Amino acid sequence: MTSREILLRKIATVDFAVTDLQIFLNTHPDNTEILDKLALYQDKSDKLKKQYQQQFGSLTPSQNDDENQWNWISSPWPWENNLKKED
């Protein structure tokens, strides 16, 4: 698994936890322990996404910093990547 794939998996895992905590809060809105945990996981998600953006470019179009160019489209498309696997 490449470092990009590992980071994407971490982002997906943390974002799943964020969604799960939000759903729980729908039925337990006064649970301060879960509210604190949600804030912690949202912060972790933001940091992981920022790390991804710095290393690999935009994760979503809304993360584009250049108004004159969509930098996420300048990256190689999946079929253009060198398919060597990292060991």
Alpha-carbon gap, residue 53 to 60, rounded angstroms: 9
What pLDDT score does 63 carry? 61
CA distance 54 to 52: 5
- pLDDT under 50 in the chain at which residues? 87
Q: For position 69, what pLDDT does the model report?
A: 55
Q: How far apart are CA 64 and CA 67, in angstroms?
A: 7
- Tell me the pTM: 0.70
